Structure 1
Amino acid sequence: MSAVILEMYGVSTLAADRQALIAWLSGDELYAYGMSLPPAAAILLLPAAAMPLAVAGGMLALAGMAALFLALTALAGPVARRYGRARRPVVLATGALALLLEPVRATLGLGHLDLILFGLVVADLVALRRSAWARTRATWWPSTPRDGRLRHLWRTGSWAGAGIGIASAMAPGTLLFIAYLALTRQWRAALTALGTTAALVAGAFVVAPGASAAWFGTVLPGIDRDGPFDSPTNQSLAGVLARLYDSASTPVMVWLSFAVLLLAVGLIRARAAHTEGDEIAAFTLVGLAGAAVAPVSTANELLWILPAILILIDAAVRRRTNPRRPAVRRLTGLGPLSAAAAVTVVFAVPPIGNIPAITAILLLNALPWRPAAPARRRPAALSPRVPAIPGPRAS
């Protein structure tokens, strides 16, 4: 399947990046050939310069597929377990659904790193989940057996923030997840992410000082570095406005005003989802907000549509299996399952006008979240029986 996708899209983005890397190794400037990746991501892709394009594209696609299925195991696995289903068939079915979506196909076929970055962020989501479980467990089972260092890290989710930090060094838009961690007062994860990003950026400055200075000085300030605003592939708010105004640029003040509003809505709803225990919905809302407010968001940056579809399907199944549950927030009367089907159809085909962007913005404002199950409590210790009528015992 991945070979078919590579043939369809021709790994054109990876081809351009590979040529820039080859020229860089020959002594030219890295960003003289249109590359928009940060230095840390460029260093990660350096081995591609020594491989044929087909081999490099195939290896990157395999890494992306592995990251995708690991992420789907973390996202769809708990849903399967909740309904008493085997995890593997559900994950495989979700993977088949993912390959139908244009964001996944474009990421694999064009040769982007976004699936790997998506997997890194989801790894932190798993870490936060395990960390919350470890804290809950400690309230009713304080004594824990001694584990090895690696097992302790896995059991307690102590690595939370490292994945987001690595992803943020390779894609500046991922910094929004660090802001979310700070907003929800998950300070340890936020500091870990910030420290990881700072360490990787500093390392890139040491390895490639000239390229790093060029990235921060000239490439990063260019908000249209990833393509023109009015391109049909740009499915951000800025792209919608540029096409509505029939202009090659976007109206800056109008864009900034609505972008700040959308960002506030996304972060507020993400914090509410976190408060009610649905960290997956919270991360999805942050991802959608980042794609909506970015100057340029191509299909590969809309990967958070996939967990949004899974959330809608889960919300529909919850309604069916428990009709007494209060109506899910928003989307009341519309039907989460119908919404999931509509979103799947929209993102299963190449972008048509502003429809994908508007769909993502609607999801940002209407995506439901699932209240978590009540936390388990430590059983109360049995107290000695006290007679109902105290008195002297018979001898």
Structure 2
Amino acid sequence: MVVDGGARASGARGRAGGAGASPPALLPLVLGVLVVLAASAPVVHRYLVAYPQDQWQVDLEVYREAGRSLLLGRPVYEVVTEVPQLLPFTYPTFSAVLAVPLALLPWGAAGWVWTGVQLALLWLVVGLAFRPLLARGGRWAPLAQGVITGACVWISPVGENVRFGQVNLVLVSLCLLDLVRGAEGVRLGRFRVRWPRGALVGVAVAVKLTPGVFLVHFAITRQWRELRNAVVAAAGVTVATFLLAPEASLEFWTSALLNPDRLGPNAGSSNQSIRGFLLRLYLADGTTTALWALVAAVAAAAGFAVARRMHRCGSTVGEVAACGLVAVLVSPVSWLHHLVWGVVVLGALAGDGRERRRVVVALVATAGLWVAWPWWGANLLASGAVPVPLARAVQSGDLWWACLALVALARVVARPAGEPRGVSRSHGLHGG
């Protein structure tokens, strides 16, 4: 990562323009932040104030205990959280290293701090995914960003991330920031911070293995430099972590990674991957495994084809969205909160908001993410109010949403085959 101090001319212009900034110039940003805080207040109250203590931030507790294990010299992958959850740490050891600051905070404070971090990351993801649309707001773009972020707080996957204190928004932010801004970097005050495009994807892979789908995508689309940077970053971080915590790292790569039972009941409603759906059919184990291998291979081929099409037509956000959906579909376990990639999908579908069809599809997709399909389906199963096949279908609603989202990206966002790259049917397709 490079801090470019050479952009002093543009930095000077930024300082000259910002030195005399009046309070009204900050008004859209202040209003945008207030909108996010107001919109998220009921969700935060539900999951951080009114929620039972034995279910409070249960996944954050897993991360925090892993960080504490490193500090205390305990076996990272043998410690489980307190009753009634008894959850083990299941992620690469680098995630435990990143959790050390949370381990230094009091438990109650850690939940609130991490929720604040998640809301800030959601703000970032919305700013990147909806950039063409927000650009039309001019100086009021921060307010528009706040409105969209506030709306996204209420979709099911984001709420589930807040509920559990999950890490998915970190992964989405790293991958989206890398592909959308990797060439230009980001400005922090008078400096511009740059990094090798692909490196942040590598860091995301070191945090959790599911972003590894981007490595496959880089290879398919012959983005060799990005692939090299991602592999070097992931390997470098992993090796550094091994030197820092060799016993825990060895345990992860030789034992914990190979034990799917550590992830909990894979057939439960929360698992919205293809494998989760097949497990809920309760077929013979061999049949389930064979079907999963076949269907997952088809889904991966289709998903990577869509991602490749997004790359060719210049929709970087659509490229990230398609890869994220592939991760959700083909992973052995994809919990409800993994579908936070859906925020990126919504941004890709909306584009710059000038094409009515894309806006309508984005709104319909938003409504689909608002419904907690797995819990609704589980309740229908328990009540017996509808036939079991229908209840099972509803129970896997997030899975069907991911499949339909891939179709929507291919049909609504991408240009017809043969249209020259760099020419957009709608304004601002690049990045959208």
Q: Does the CA-based 8 Å contact 1:161-1:189 persist in structure 2?
A: yes
> Relative to 1, partners in 2 of residues 1:90 and 1:114: Cα closer, same or farther, differing over 3 Å?
same
1:246: how far off? 6.5
| Equivalent in the alignment of 2:92 | 38
- Residue range with higher mean Cα deviation, 300-309 or 219-228: 219-228
Q: Does the CA-based 8 Å contact 2:318-2:345 persist in structure 1?
A: yes
Match of 1:319 among 355, 371, 374: 355
| Equivalent in the alignment of 2:364 | 339
Structure 1 CA distance, aligned partners of 2:94 and 2:61?
Answer: 18
The amino acid that maps onto 1:363 is A
Match of 1:369 among 413, 416, 419: 413
Structure 1 CA distance, aligned partners of 2:68 and 2:198?
Answer: 33
User: What's the CA shift string for 1:59-100, capped at 9, x where partnerless?
Assistant: 222222222212211121222225768321221111012100
Structure-to-structure mapping, 1:1-395, within 5 angstroms: 1=41, 3-4=44-45, 5-7=47-49, 8=51, 10-33=56-79, 34-82=88-136, 86-128=140-182, 130=184, 151=192, 154=194, 158-245=195-282, 251-314=288-351, 317-320=353-356, 336-337=361-362, 339-347=364-372, 350=375, 352=377, 353-367=395-409, 368-371=412-415, 374=423
- Aligned residue for 2:270, secondary structure, equals coil
- Aligned residue for 2:340, secondary structure, equals coil
1:161: how far off? 1.3
User: What's the CA shift string for 1:248-274, capped at 9, x where partnerless?
Assistant: 998111101100110111011110111
> Relative to 1, partners in 2 of residues 1:349 and 1:27: Cα closer, same or farther, differing over 3 Å?
same
TM-score where L is the length of structure 2:
0.72
Q: Does the CA-based 8 Å contact 1:224-1:295 persist in structure 2?
A: no
Q: Does the CA-based 8 Å contact 1:16-1:35 persist in structure 2?
A: yes
Q: Does the CA-based 8 Å contact 1:73-1:91 persist in structure 2?
A: yes
The Cα RMSD (Å) is 2.9
Structure 1 runs not aligned, ≥5 long: 132-148, 321-326, 376-395
TM-score where L is the length of structure 1:
0.78
Structure 2 runs not aligned, ≥5 long: 1-40, 80-87, 378-394, 416-420, 425-432
Structure 2 CA distance, aligned partners of 1:20 and 1:266?
Answer: 34
Q: Does the CA-based 8 Å contact 2:70-2:97 persist in structure 1?
A: no
- Residue range with higher mean Cα deviation, 198-207 or 339-348: 339-348
Q: Does the CA-based 8 Å contact 1:39-1:204 persist in structure 2?
A: yes
Q: Does the CA-based 8 Å contact 2:153-2:159 persist in structure 1?
A: yes
The amino acid that maps onto 1:202 is V
Structure 1 CA distance, aligned partners of 2:261 and 2:183?
Answer: 36
Structure 2 CA distance, aligned partners of 1:248 and 1:41?
Answer: 32
User: What's the CA shift string for 1:220-277, capped at 9, x where partnerless?
Assistant: 1223432221111111111111112268998111101100110111011110111011
| Equivalent in the alignment of 1:378 | none
Structure 1 CA distance, aligned partners of 2:61 and 2:284?
Answer: 29
Q: Does the CA-based 8 Å contact 2:156-2:371 persist in structure 1?
A: no
Structure 2 CA distance, aligned partners of 1:160 and 1:355?
Answer: 35
